[in-house]
Amino acid sequence: MSEGMELPRRRLGKTDIELTVFGVGGYLGLLADEQASKADGEQAAILAVRRALELGVGYFDTAPSYGGGEAERHLGLGLRELSAAERAGLRVSTKVGTHPEKSQLYDADSIRWSLERSLARLFCDAVDIVYVHDPVEDAHMDQILGPDGALETLQKLREEGVLQAIGLGVRNHRFLQRAIECGHFDAILPSYDFHPLRDSVRPVIGAAVAAGMGVAYSPGAI
């Protein structure tokens, strides 16, 4: 990528959201150096957002558990420095279900609690995509898909204008398949398992595409 270039965009499944083909993940919290001071870390995060924008990147993904809990705040500081015109072209996703204080809780109250805090850290009134993050047990998926669970709650929040699309981000292929089959998720975020020597997630991605869902693929951690 070179400065000032325009990266191609692709529509996310059946939604109206268009994402650049490359995005910035916030797993490490946009930290330049673990030994950096708080002020230096914040400045590095602001510069990282600016630099990504200069290189044509228009998609940022984060989560309340990333970067020791600092990732969302650091991204928010960078977004806050942008002009309205610059911010208009950017798309942001975050996650629910793995907040350090309420991890693996997928009931309505916990989902609303988590997303409210994410929006505050991001200095945003709304985000483009919210991924239900990292369910570990079948009981978690049952709660996510059941009454007053994460899916139903995010659908209500979408009606309230807080988000546009709902996804599931998890490594477990069986859980991704359940999300595809239920027909109410807009996207999946698989991880780890897709490269020439390890592509076990390929059938899941194929099923998601056939269902008209978006696939935001990451080769690293989610």
Tell me the pLDDT tens digit for each residue of 53-73: 999 999 999 999 998 889 999
Catalytic residue (one of 27, 59, 66, 217): 66
Distance between CA atoms of residues 36 and 41, nearest Å: 6
CB-based contact 117:99 (threshold 8 Å): yes
Q: Give residue-wise pLDDT tens across range 166-182.
A: 999 998 999 999 999 99
CB-based contact 60:124 (threshold 8 Å): no
Full-model pTM: 0.91
**Phi and psi angles of residue 214, each rounded to the nearest 5 degrees, phi first:** -85, 150
Tokens read off for 189: 């975020």
Beta-strand ranges (E) seen in the chain are 9-11, 18-20, 24-25, 59-61, 91-96, 98-99, 102-103, 129-133, 165-169, 187-189, 214-215
CB-based contact 167:129 (threshold 8 Å): yes
Q: Indicate if the pLDDT at residue 209 is higher than 80.
A: yes
Q: Give residue-wise pLDDT tens across range 107-161.
A: 999 999 999 999 999 999 999 999 999 999 999 999 999 999 999 999 999 999 9
Q: Which domains does the chain have, with CATH numbers?
A: 17-215 (3.20.20.100)
CB-based contact 57:6 (threshold 8 Å): no
Tokens read off for 92: 């942001």
Q: Indicate if the pLDDT at residue 198 is higher than 90.
A: no
CB-based contact 12:166 (threshold 8 Å): no
Distance between CA atoms of residues 81 and 79, nearest Å: 5
106 catalytic, yes or no?
Answer: no
